[in-house]
Amino acid sequence: METRLTRKLGIELPIVGAPMGGAAGGRLAAAVSQGGGLGLIGGGYGQADWLEREFAAAGDARIGVGFITWSLARQPGLLDQALAHRPAAVMLSFGDPAPFVPRIREAGAQAICQVQTLAMAREALAAGADVLVAQGSEAGGHGLQRSTFTLVPEVADLIARSAPDTLLLAAGGVADGRGLAAALMLGADGALIGSRLLMSPESLWPAGLQEAAVAADGDITVRSRVPDLARRYVWPAGFTARILHTGFAAQWHGHEEELVRPEVLDREEARYWRGVASGNPDDTCVMVSEAVGLIGDVAPAAELVRRMAAQARECLSARPRR
């Protein structure tokens, strides 16, 4: 599947693995790249030892890395650490990319900037981004309110008018070849895939969380502040996380004021991290996309990438059907 993205990144398929913090480690990034896409390690909130370990786990695979931008601004040395590994790309999400894009490009990596609004897209273009990711609210984890189906073509039109050499990825609710084909038809050059790749043995997610996601459908996801409150993470205004509305989340969504009472939060924060470690969805939050209902199995990431591309090719070549 040749697109502008495959040509620019030197990959076979227009699929990039999302840099999901705590889930997208070196093995997953390497598997996505080996499947024909480009895998990204999830640098998340920034832990130098973890980052070093996961680059090592990727071996000699050609991969990239992603950061939560507002957190990276507090630890800018992490970017130098990542660039020392000569990543193919560095993705910046949820913050001002301008202080970091020049260093990324000078190091020979592609600067990928995730945006959730037209205003953010303009800022990323002004900063010199090589690739934009238009992320809709269907996405798992953090995001804003715009939907993928309208945001992607609007950003595509903006790029065509003002920066035609910049590439575009669609993100949010893309979990199979139908979504990838739709992203290309909406004007994107490829797709950023998150939740689908969580359901792979290379993911750092424990089996219990994978089982909960595979059993779920999109009707039981909700955008919520609960995971950030439980972890004492202070996110910029407006950002919420899409999670399964089950277990821990269902208990506290709508009861945030009680959750943040000191005597309650001390107990529930410890419970949250125990749930992460044990893979018990009743004791933690399961961050997944609305597309979770399209995910029916756990399979090797390289297979998932190839499967998605094959289905997209079929969709794009088939005649319109009722």
173 and 261 share one domain: no
123 and 18 share one domain: yes
- Beta strands (DSSP E) in 94-239 are 110-115, 131-135, 141-143, 167-171, 190-193, 221-224
Residue 209: inside a domain, yes or no?
no
pLDDT at residue 320, as a whole number: 58
Mean pLDDT for the stretch of residues 87-99? 97
162 and 259 share one domain: no
Question: Is the pLDDT score of 77 beyond 60?
Answer: yes
129 and 273 share one domain: no
Question: Is the pLDDT score of 217 beyond 60?
Answer: yes
Q: Cβ distance 275 to 252 under 8 Å? A: no
pTM given for the model: 0.94
The string of pLDDT tens digits covering residues 252-299 is 999 999 999 999 999 999 999 999 999 999 999 999 999 999 999 999
Residue 252: inside a domain, yes or no?
yes
The string of pLDDT tens digits covering residues 147-173 is 999 999 999 999 999 999 999 999 999
165 and 191 share one domain: yes
pLDDT at residue 319, as a whole number: 60
Residue 210: inside a domain, yes or no?
no
Looking up residue 159, the CATH number of its domain turns out to be 3.20.20.70
- For residues 222-236, one letter each, b for 16 or more C-beta atoms within 10 angstroms of the residue's C-beta and e for the rest, the string is bbbbbbbbbbeeebe
pLDDT at residue 115, as a whole number: 98
The confidence band for 1, taking pLDDT boundaries of 50, 70 and 90, is: confident
Task: Give the whole-angstrom CA distance, residue 179 versus residue 171.
Answer: 10
51-59 contact pairs (CB < 8 A, 24+)? 51/78, 51/81, 51/82, 52/81, 53/26, 54/25, 54/26, 54/29, 55/26, 55/82, 55/85, 56/26, 57/25, 57/26, 57/27, 57/30, 58/26, 58/27, 58/29, 58/30, 59/26, 59/30
pLDDT at residue 27, as a whole number: 97
Residue 53: inside a domain, yes or no?
yes
Phi, then psi, of 188 in degrees rounded to 5? -80, 160
pLDDT at residue 202, as a whole number: 97
Residue 212: inside a domain, yes or no?
no
Total domains in the fold of the chain: 2
Residue 66: inside a domain, yes or no?
yes
308 and 251 share one domain: no
pLDDT mean across residues, the chain: 95
User: In the chain, how long is the greatest CA-to-CA distance?
Assistant: 61
Residue 186: inside a domain, yes or no?
yes
pLDDT at residue 44, as a whole number: 85
31 and 105 share one domain: yes
252 and 166 share one domain: no
187 and 283 share one domain: no
233 and 121 share one domain: no
Task: Give the whole-angstrom CA distance, residue 291 versus residue 175.
Answer: 6
SS3 299: coil
Number of Cβ within 10 Å of residue 320's Cβ equals 4
130 and 195 share one domain: yes
184 and 269 share one domain: no
Domain that holds residue 8: 4-204+297-317
pLDDT at residue 321, as a whole number: 55
Residue 275: inside a domain, yes or no?
yes
The confidence band for 46, taking pLDDT boundaries of 50, 70 and 90, is: confident
The string of pLDDT tens digits covering residues 174-188 is 999 999 999 999 999
